[in-house]
Copies of this chain bind each other. A is one copy, B any other.
């Protein structure tokens, strides 16, 4: 197979972890005889310093012309400490999602037995956790009209959803549930929000076409509780943009090691793959960042193109690195291995 993949290293540790994914892509190319055209482009804070824009037009064009995007991470302390900045790295992320129509964020949260002890939650609670969160990514309060009164004393954000926006991600989520443990949980606040009631009505209707999938609804406040009390009850979780932002970050903590979690943002014609974690600027250039989240995101990319054997080869190599304890310090407390070494080990073990 031939694929054109845009590489957006971004900020902080982004380029370093992405470099390890590139090693894996090259190993896959060789082992499985594919051709990946890999093209780098600036994105995030680093792009702001270059062109004044977090998502330069050229980068956007490249992304549109590519089959998929691999993103490192974005964000820098300069902006985190200055919430009033008018141009911000996050805007690039929101814009790329919108421009490419990446309406479904897919975040698998699967416990790795090797690191069970890292969870802040008790072992008996988190053991065997295996869920995937489907978060709507291009609608809701993130993209609705925003207003600030002229005197600056009143502000508003509009949350809107249409049946179409809800149903396209709902079908993706049900299809995923069918292939998994056949349970789908819709998280909303239908006792308060009109948009949630539309979600509930639409998803309930669609659930009838998936009779083999168990369907339930939870209010977001209760879901935040259940995520801590009994994460194993979840298989596929479906929710809107804002609730999904909160719930998926909360869910990621179950594993105790955010450096292990991949994610995908999928649309009709394009898809972007990136680690769950942020740009961790404090670690930049120190060769200590965990490359596994980025590498597993690369496996998700391959899966997206039905290259399942290839994806499994990456996952198997990652597991080997766990077994051999060739991992970075964040997951073990201490370690003699750096980002580069772990990336080499994993890519060399792709067979």
Contacts and interface: CB of A to CB of B under 8 A. Distances in A.
A146 B193 contact: yes
A156 interface: yes
Nearest to A143: B192
Contacts of A197: 83-84, 148, 155
A29 interface: no
Interface in A296-314: none
The 8 closest A-B pairs by CB, nearest first: A146-B194, A155-B198, A221-B249, A224-B250, A156-B160, A153-B163, A155-B194, A154-B162
Copies of the protein in its oligomer: 2
Interface string A151-189: 011111111111110000000000000000000000001
Given A120-B121, A141-B159, A146-B193, A225 B198 contact: no
Interface of A: 83-84, 88, 90, 94, 120-122, 125, 141-142, 144, 146-148, 152-164, 189-195, 197-198, 200-201, 217, 220-222, 224-225, 227-229, 242-243, 245-247, 249-250, 252-253
A256 B351 CA distance: 46
25 contacts: A83-B190, A120-B228, A122-B122, A141-B192, A148-B198, A152-B198, A153-B198, A154-B161, A154-B162, A154-B198, A155-B195, A155-B197, A156-B158, A156-B159, A157-B193, A189-B245, A220-B245, A220-B246, A221-B250, A224-B224, A224-B246, A225-B250, A225-B253, A228-B228, A228-B250
Contacts of A156: 144, 158-161, 194-195
Contacts of A227: 250
Contacts of A162: 153-154
Given A120-B125, A159-B159, A228 B253 contact: yes
A161 B155 CA distance: 6
Given A146-B193, A156-B158, A220-B246, 12 more contacts: A121-B122, A122-B122, A144-B156, A153-B163, A153-B164, A154-B161, A154-B162, A156-B194, A189-B245, A221-B245, A224-B247, A243-B246
Contacts of A189: 242, 245
Contacts of A225: 249-250, 252-253
Contacts of A190: 83
Contact of A250 (B144, B242, B250): B250
Contacts of A193: 141, 146, 157
A260 B221 CA distance: 18
A120 to B, nearest CB: 5
- Residue from A125, A156, A201, A247 having most chain B Cβ neighbours under 10 A: A156
A247 to B, nearest CB: 8
A206 B201 CA distance: 43
